[in-house]
Structure formats: structure tokens, C-alpha cells
Amino acid sequence: MSTNEEAAITFHGSTFVELTFQQTTLFLDPVFSSTRRGRRLRGTTRPCDYVLVTHEGDGFDDVLDLLDEQPGAILVGSERTCRAAQGELGLGRKRLLDLEAWERAGEDSFRVTAVPIALPSMLDDSMAMLDDLGGSGLGRLMPRGAARVPRAGLSAGLRVLEALPLLGNELSRNLRGRPALGYLFELTAGQRVLHLAGGVHGANDERELEDIASLTPLDVILLDVGAQGVDAVVRALRLFQFGTVLLYRSQDPYARGMRAAPQPVHAYIEAIQEDLGDAVEALHFREGDRFVLPAPEKKDHARNAPARASDAAKPAAKA
């Protein structure tokens, strides 16, 4: 359990991020299992006070296991997510907190705001692959211009679709990505943490990111960089006032024989530092890393390299 003087973020691999502060433990998209030969292998869940879900992804079964085995844990997510968990487990209303985008809730030690994000769609993943191919030898084998689809043209097309009733709006949303929720945590001790998951990519609606950035200055941004282009991440971070961005990968991009090699995380870090300078820090957040948030009276955003979780006592839920 964290102490009143320390708030920390720990990355447990895959999508699983843990935030601890003032004897409170939050799990974001927790994963406790793995697969072998197509079969799901159960892991060991652990105690927490709240479990927050960005979307109903591959790890939702792990969320259900946790809620079933930890009767004190409260689920925070969209109305659809809470309804799915209630249908599976018969949870009472006291264990469900459904939030729409821009809704806020909180208790004595923190306040959380749900913010709208979109996870990359198949189209956006394909665009990132074409961008990578354009800079590789394979790009020279493709017809001229085929490896570099103009983003401005895509954005203009989406604006035209938005003007169409019903079908146009639905199609444009799907092209921009799968709807999900990010979370802004405002701790009563003063720290501000924004969890964007995989919600930064080439098909972002920049207006929504601007709205999120306008809420408050930030100490930390958590960002899952899968196959997203480096330029998309840098453009998005320009909108925010922040001290540190923690970059992690929820999936191993080198394990599935992708046709285009992804950019290494250090390429994102170098681009962020080149563009935004020494006023911010960008860190590679690896599995087992633990980042201690600066105390409110010491928010000078000094370098704070992650430490391995094994080097410190792992927090547990309050009794």
C-alpha cells in the first residue's frame, strides 16, 4: 500500500497499469492471464479498490475474474461496459460506476474525469504500415504515391462524410477509430495524471485532444505506442502542458511477423525531446517499471527514471 507521501504508477505489462496513492489502488485495463495454443491460462488476481476499463478488449475476461474474486472492487467504465459486467456477474449498483465522456466522479483522495479517445482502427493501422513501407526498400516496389496516402485528403473525406446523415456519421466514427474512454486523475495531494491508452494515432480528431488538453496542466501522460507513427504522437503532445510522458507498448510489435518494422520506442523519445525540448521528459515504461509522482511542492519535473517494481514494496488494497 502506498503511503500518504507517495503516489506511484506501475506497469505490469500488456495493458495493465496500476496507480497507487493515499492507501488507494487503481487498476487500469488489468490483465492476469496468457494464452497457450489458443487456450486462456488463468493468472492470479490481486486486490484493488477500483478497476477502470477503457474498452471491452481481449482482457475483459480478466476484469470479470477480478471483480468476481475481489468483492470490494468497483468497476469504472462506460455504460455498456458496466452493463456487460452486471449481466455476467450480477453486480449491484454500488459496485458499478458508469461514466460518459466528460463526466466526473470522485472520493476524498481523488477525482476522475472520463475523456473521449478512439483506439486505432484497421484503416489507421494500415496507414501506419504504408508510412513505414514508404521509407523502406519495399516501398520502392509499390506504384508511385501508393505508399504515402495524403492525410489531408483522408481528413477532408471524413469531414464530407460527417455532413451526411446517419450512415456518414457512423462510418466516419469507425474510420477514426474504435470509441473508448481515457481517464484524467486529479489527486487531492495535487498531482495530475492522464491515461490515454492507445488513443493517439494518425486518425485523431485534433479538436477532441485540444479539449482534453484544456482541462488542466499535467504531471504525467500515459501513452500506449503500438504501431502509431512518431509524427502523430509528437503532434498530439504539442497540445498538452505536461512534465513527463510514459511510453509503453501493450503488445510486442516484433512477435507477429509484421510486414513493416515498427519504430523503436527510443525513436519516439528522441522526436519528443527534439520537438519539445528539456522542459519535458519522455521515458520508456517497461514491464515492471515503477514511476513515483513528484510531490506537489516539488513539481520541478526533474528527471525521474522508472525503478523496477521489485525494488520497492508492491502496494496492496486497503482493508
pLDDT digits (tens, 9 = 90+) for 40-84: 888 889 999 999 999 998 889 999 999 999 999 999 999 999 999
Percentage with pLDDT > 70 across the chain: 72
Using a 10 angstrom Cβ sphere, with 0-12 exposed, 13-18 middle and 19 or more buried, the burial of residue 208 is middle
Rounded-to-5 percentages of helix, strand, coil across the chain:
30, 25, 45
**pLDDT single digits (tens) 189-216:** 999 999 999 999 988 889 999 999 999 9
pLDDT at 133 over 70: no
Q: Fill in the amino acid letter for 230.
A: V
Q: Are 109 and 21 in contact (CB under 8 A)?
A: yes
pLDDT at 277 over 90: yes
Note the pLDDT of residue 306. Answer: 58
Note the pLDDT of residue 160. Answer: 47
Q: Are 289 and 309 in contact (CB under 8 A)?
A: yes
Residue 160: helix, strand or coil by DSSP? helix
pLDDT at 297 over 90: no
Q: Are 203 and 154 in contact (CB under 8 A)?
A: yes
Note the pLDDT of residue 284. Answer: 98
Question: Which residues are CB-contacts of 32 (< 8 A; sequence separation ≥ 6)?
Answer: 42, 43, 44, 45, 62, 65, 66
Residue 15: helix, strand or coil by DSSP? coil
- Rounded mean pLDDT of the chain? 81
The band of 261, judged by pLDDT with boundaries at 50, 70 and 90, is low
Please say whether the dihedral angle defined by the alpha carbons of residues 318, 219, 239 and 110, taken in this order, is positive or negative: positive
The band of 257, judged by pLDDT with boundaries at 50, 70 and 90, is low
Give the count of beta carbons closer than 10 Å to the beta carbon of residue 41.
Answer: 10
Note the pLDDT of residue 153. Answer: 46
Note the pLDDT of residue 105. Answer: 97
Percentage with pLDDT > 90 across the chain: 60
Its pTM surpasses 0.75: yes
Note the pLDDT of residue 156. Answer: 47
Mean pLDDT value across residues 294-299:
72
Which structural domains are found in the chain, ordered by start? 8-120+177-311 (3.60.15.10), 122-176 (no CATH)
Position of cell 458508469? 98
Q: Are 309 and 287 in contact (CB under 8 A)?
A: no
The band of 311, judged by pLDDT with boundaries at 50, 70 and 90, is very low
pLDDT at 147 over 70: no
C-alpha–C-alpha distance, residues 169 and 157, integer Å: 12
The region of weakest confidence among 9-18, 44-53, 82-91, 292-301 is 292-301
Give the count of beta carbons closer than 10 Å to the beta carbon of residue 235.
Answer: 16
Q: Which of 293, 261, 213, 301 is nearest to 26 (CA)?
A: 293
